[in-house]
Structure 1
Amino acid sequence: MTTKRCFPPVVDSRTRILVLGSLPGEVSLAQSQYYAHKQNRFWHLMGDVLGVDLVGLDYPGRLQALLGHGVGLWDVVAEARRDGSLDSNIRDHAGNDLIGLIGTLPGLRAIAFNGGTAAKIGGKALGEHGDRHAILRLPSSSPAYTLAYAEKRVAWLALRAWLD
């Protein structure tokens, strides 16, 4: 198994919603981009939430659009041993300092976990600090989670409540 490391957080002083994944997959790591796998529906789902065509933008444009709408990104796992991209293969993980990051985001209203692994690891890391914000456990945007897009979309649209 090889050790994989996450990317830096994408946040700024306007961040109201923080979307937390587990750990970038192989394609994302190779391209140094969050949610780079073409079959991952993250950019489609967030585009539906924001009412913006994120898929049509280049990667820097996507990040700027998220930040401009008050949405930040990070992962709950700082590093771990993992073969492949599946969360079920994550071993010996070290968590990110979620509490430290949250402390730098004065306007944060909601924390959204992208998938069950992110929710499980991130929920433990937040502990009682998670009670200060709305917590959403969203269905994974990963193609490995085979829930129909329409059902994922309904759950993800709940993020709109914390945008304004």
Structure 2
Amino acid sequence: MTEKLIGFPPRFTDQATILVLGSMPGRASLGASEYYAHPRNAFWPIMAQVFGFDANQPYERRVDSLLQHKVALWDVVHRCVRTTSLDSDIVSDTVEVNDFGSLFVSCPQIHRVCLNGQAAARLYRRHVLQELPQAREIEWQVLPSTSPAHAAMRFEEKCQQWQQALLKQ
């Protein structure tokens, strides 16, 4: 069996109102120690367009821009075996989920979870909603994956859906 990959800690402030969740960082992200580091991932260009910052600025400044807009970043999976960067290659019986109970206590103002793609949504439904009653009280929405593997939707369409979810009151 392949060694388990370990994801990143959450990026948040206690003022966060929205939590963006991916499934598990891919190889490019793990190698760079940055969320959404693959150069063709649309996450940062979408966030830059929604919140009005430069998608090419250094990573920590991009993260700070999200935090200033009360957006937290994390993944559903803390640790798992995955042979490629594809979510479909996550070995389901190896999944260890992040500690959402602690995060929701640290960020009591989170009122919406935005799930980056169908894999994150499946994992969230299976491992968080079923196991953590307080998560059921928080609105959640599945959004189009920003991954380059999800090329079925144009950037403009993805951006519009993300903008509606992130900016709605």
Which range, TM-score by smaller chain? Answer: over 0.9
1:76-95 per-residue CA deviation (whole Å, 9 max, x = no partner) reads 00111011100000012111
TM-score by length of 2: 0.90
Query: What's the counterpart of residue 84 of structure 1?
Result: 84
**Deviation at residue 46 of structure 1 after TM alignment:** 1.2
> Identity of aligned pairs, percent?
38
- Aligned pair count reads 161
Report SS of the residue matched to 1:12.
Answer: coil
Query: 149, 154, 157: which is aligned to 1:151?
Result: 157
**Deviation at residue 11 of structure 1 after TM alignment:** 0.7
1:42-88 per-residue CA deviation (whole Å, 9 max, x = no partner) reads 001111221222x1210111111111110110000011101110000
**Deviation at residue 122 of structure 1 after TM alignment:** 1.1
Q: How does 1:15-34 map to 2 (within 5 A)?
A: 15-34=16-35
- Inter-partner Cα distance in structure 1 for 2:140 and 2:53: 24
**Deviation at residue 126 of structure 1 after TM alignment:** 2.6
Indicate whether 1:101 and 2:107 are aligned.
Answer: no
1:102-144 per-residue CA deviation (whole Å, 9 max, x = no partner) reads 1210221211100111111112313343332221111100000
What is the aligned-residue RMSD (CA, Å)? 1.3
**Deviation at residue 100 of structure 1 after TM alignment:** 2.4
Contact 2:7 2:78 in 1 (8 A): yes
**Deviation at residue 22 of structure 1 after TM alignment:** 0.4
- Inter-partner Cα distance in structure 1 for 2:34 and 2:41: 12
Query: What's the counterpart of residue 5 of structure 2?
Result: 4
Unpaired segments ≥5 residues, structure 1? none
Query: What's the counterpart of residue 161 of structure 1?
Result: 168
Q: Report the structure, 1 or 2, having the larger strand content.
A: 1
